[in-house]
Amino acid sequence: MPRLYYALDLRDDPALIAEYERWHSPEAIWPEIVESIVAAGIHDMEIHRVGDRLVLTMEVDEDYSPEAKAAADDGNPRVQAWEALMSTFQKPLPGSAPGEKWRPMTRIFSLSQSRRDNDDGTEA
């Protein structure tokens, strides 16, 4: 199952960061947001934070399409309302295109891949 990673920053304000985390608690997240995530073929999603930096991890179907997810979200008023609310807490990463929020991350190391390569007699 493919795993995807994305990064985004929060506004560097402790009160806003606490509020952003509160919105993502099981009691506060809107059910329509969870439904839209699952309907897109996302099996698991986690968001981690250090300081004002967020890292999002998603385990997705083999045929998951970020473009299809974005198109579905564009047509969903509840997702659009959620995104507008979350935008009050978020700020783009340096180098982001206008309107770009979560930016895909590139894997640069894999322990399992390195171990497989070494087991095959090749060098890491």
pLDDT number for residue 55: 98
pLDDT number for residue 46: 98
Quick one: angle between helices 14-23 and 77-87, nearest 10? 160
The CATH number covering residue 108 comes to 3.30.70.1090
pLDDT number for residue 119: 80
CB-side neighbour CA atoms (13 Å) of 53: 8
Look up the domain containing 59 and give its range. Answer: 3-119
Q: Is pLDDT above 70 for 121?
A: no
Q: pLDDT tier at 123 (50, 70, 90 boundaries)?
A: low
83, part of any domain: yes
57, part of any domain: yes
55: three-class secondary structure by DSSP:
strand
8 CB neighbour count, 10 Å cutoff: 21
Number of domains the chain is built from:
1
Q: Which two tokens stand for residue 98?
A: 């206008």
124, part of any domain: no
Q: What is the pLDDT of residues 57-114, one digit of tens each?
A: 999 999 999 999 999 999 999 999 999 999 999 999 999 999 899 999 999 999 999 9
Residues with Cβ within 8 Å of residue 104, at least 6 apart in sequence = 4, 5, 6
Q: pLDDT tier at 42 (50, 70, 90 boundaries)?
A: very high
* Distance (Å) of CA 60 to CA 42, 44, 67, 71: 4, 7, 14, 17
Query: Does this model's pTM top 0.75?
Result: yes
Query: Closest Cα partner for 90 from 4, 7, 5?
Result: 7
Q: End-to-end CA distance of the chain, in Å?
A: 24
Q: How far is CA 107 from the centre of its chain?
A: 15
